[in-house]
Amino acid sequence: MLKRFPIDEIKAGMYVTQVTEQSGFLKVKTSGLIKDPGIIPRLKARGIKEVEVDLSRSLLGFEKEEEPVAAPKAQEDPPPKKSEAGALKEAQNLYSQAKTVQSRIFKRLRQGAQVKVTELMSLSHDMMESLFDNPNALSCLTLIKDKNDYLLEHSLNSSILMGLFARHLGFDRELIDELGQGGMMMDVGMATLQNNLLDKPSSLTNEEQNLMRTHVDFGVKLLKSSKIESEVVLDVVANHHERLDGSGYPKGKSGDELSVYARMAAIVDTYDAMTSDRPWRKALTPTQSLKSLLSSSQGKLDQQLVQQFVRCMGVHPVGSLVKLKSGKIGIVTRMNKEDPLCPIVRTFYSARSQHYTELKIVDLSKAQDKIESGVRPDEFKMNLPKFFKDVFLGQLD
């Protein structure tokens, strides 16, 4: 027996089959038993107004007869949780494989070959699966950047960051998968542009800017030619450069014309670009980038979502390079939700003696040492990607 209920009449124990009325653009998991009453205000906050309930599957006394209770099944032991070291190494292997495939596809696009992007979509799915197993591992890799591989890494990082952001907002697995795919495909059209345009160290002319902007339409066409029908993926690719005040491109959309997904993509795209070295400027540290999102994007980016993104990433995002008051340099490998200023750090370098040191875990919530500032690898002439792959991962226990 199916019956519609206003969201204000929903109670724990009801079995919801679908959303029948909502405002906004959010997609949420709609089928299942409501076990936690705390989820109801979250549904209301997302614009859910009415849902359909299967009374026969609800646990509120709607049933005429109670079904016999099945004997409890013996629970299997959960698989052993991967160590931090194991998770990082596995994530690094996945990231490297994805980068190799991405490079091959981008090369074919530059040559004008016909390309189907289903392999990229599958890679994104694999990364989203890994993200749910251990979000810290892939999050860390988004900040181990090789400035010579910006275009490849930007696509992978955008996919990971979209997944992290969507997970933080409580979206369902299917939607997180689609948003990760959208992040992966956001700038695939850039592969058709000449390197002298992508790597130009000075401001672009109006003609060059117009040429640069064609990457959005190319990306959408590529998705459609590959028979990718997800409205979410198409939305992210088509609108990630649009801005709330209408100053973006390619359509100059504004305000309510932009979905939550497009607004999320704009934040992710901007953040990863800020934390990357570009030909015309040095990268900002992750903390500086988050502060800039809060201070300099007023009117252009959705500030409520920006604040959520900052909460998602933390004061010192996982993967950040930080200098401690002791003079040690380390990588943030785990956030501390109870005390965001005191994450887990693995130190590996001495700023005072200017040389690498033994890898050590420092829990800043228990140590006297504290973070003095975020730093960039070039401040200490570090080749961070090479060190991370050849030394750091090898020393992890």
Better pLDDT: 395 or 259: 259
Same domain? For 47 and 113 the reply is no
Distance CA 143, CA 134 (A): 16
Residue-wise pLDDT for 17-52, tens only, equals 888 887 655 555 556 778 667 677 767 766 788 888
- Using a 10 angstrom Cβ sphere, with 0-12 exposed, 13-18 middle and 19 or more buried, the burial of residue 8 is exposed
Q: What is the pLDDT of residue 64?
A: 38
385 and 303 together in one domain? no
**What does the pLDDT read at residue 123?**
85
CB 263 within 8 A of CB 26: no
150 and 261 belong to one structural domain? yes
Residues 139 and 22 in one domain: no
Q: Looking at residue 41, which CATH number applies to its domain?
A: 3.90.105
Of 25, 43, 26, 24, which Cα lies nearest the Cα of 14?
Answer: 43
Q: Are residues 182 and 279 in the same domain?
A: yes
* Residues 250, 216 contacting (CB under 8 angstroms): yes
Residues 247 and 336 in one domain: no
Residues 309 and 345 in one domain: no
| Residue 33 backbone dihedrals phi, psi, to 5 degrees | -80, 130
Residue 322: strand pairing partners: 330, 374
What digits encode the pLDDT tens for the residues 129-146?
999 888 999 999 999 999
Q: Which range is least confidently modeled, 80-89, 287-296, 314-323, 364-373?
A: 80-89
For residues 239 and 216, give the distance between their C-alpha atoms in angstroms, rounded to a whole number: 8
Distance CA 382, CA 377 (A): 5
385 burial level (CB within 10 Å; 0-12, 13-18, 19+) = middle
Dist. CA 343–CA 335, nearest whole Å: 5
CB 333 within 8 A of CB 346: yes
The answer as to whether 66 is a domain residue is no
The 321-324 sheet, strands edge to edge: 355-363, 344-350, 328-334, 321-324, 371-374
Residue 72 lies in a domain: no
- Comparing 74-88, 95-109, 217-231, the range with the smallest average pLDDT is 74-88
Q: Which pTM does this prediction carry?
A: 0.80
CATH number of the domain at 201, please: 1.10.3210.10
Q: Is residue 78 part of a domain?
A: no
* Segments forming the whole domain that contains residue 282: 84-313
Give phi and psi for 54, each to the nearest 5. -90, 105
Backbone angle region of 355, left / alpha / beta, with phi > 0 → left and psi within -120 to 50 → alpha: beta
Query: What was the pLDDT predicted at 71?
Result: 41
Say which residues have a Cβ less than 8 Å from residue 339's Cβ, sequence separation at least 6.
365
Residues contacting residue 141 through CB under 8 Å, at least 6 positions apart: 91, 92, 95, 160, 319
Residue 264 and residue 333 share a domain: no
> Cα(285)–Cα(280) distance, rounded to whole angstroms?
16
Task: Tell how far CA 91 is from the center of its chain.
Answer: 15
Model confidence band, residue 72 (pLDDT cutoffs 50, 70, 90)? very low
Task: Judge whether residue 189 has pLDDT over 80.
Answer: yes
Using the 3D structure, point to which of 276, 297, 313 is the last residue of a domain: 313
Identify the band that residue 67 occupies on the pLDDT scale cut at 50, 70 and 90. very low
Of 282, 313, 344, the last residue of a domain is 313
Q: Where are the beta strands (DSSP E) in the chain?
A: 2-6, 15-22, 32-33, 48-54, 321-324, 328-334, 344-350, 355-363, 371-374
Instruction: Verify that 223 and 300 share a domain, yes or no.
Output: yes
Would residue 64 count as lying in a domain?
no
Do residues 128 and 156 make contact, with C-beta atoms less than 8 angstroms apart? no
The model's confidence at residue 66, banded by pLDDT at 50, 70 and 90, is very low
Same domain as 211, residue 88: yes
Quote the number of domains for the chain: 3
Domain assignment of residue 257, yes or no: yes
Q: What sign has the CA pseudo-torsion 261, 266, 269, 271?
A: negative
The residue from 313, 331, 350 where one domain ends is 313
Rounded to whole angstroms, the Cα distance separating 187 from 206 reads 20
Length of the chain: 397
* 276 falls within a domain: yes
In terms of domains, do 107 and 141 share one? yes
276 shares its domain with 309: yes
Give the model's confidence band at 390: pLDDT under 50 very low, under 70 low, under 90 confident, else very high: confident
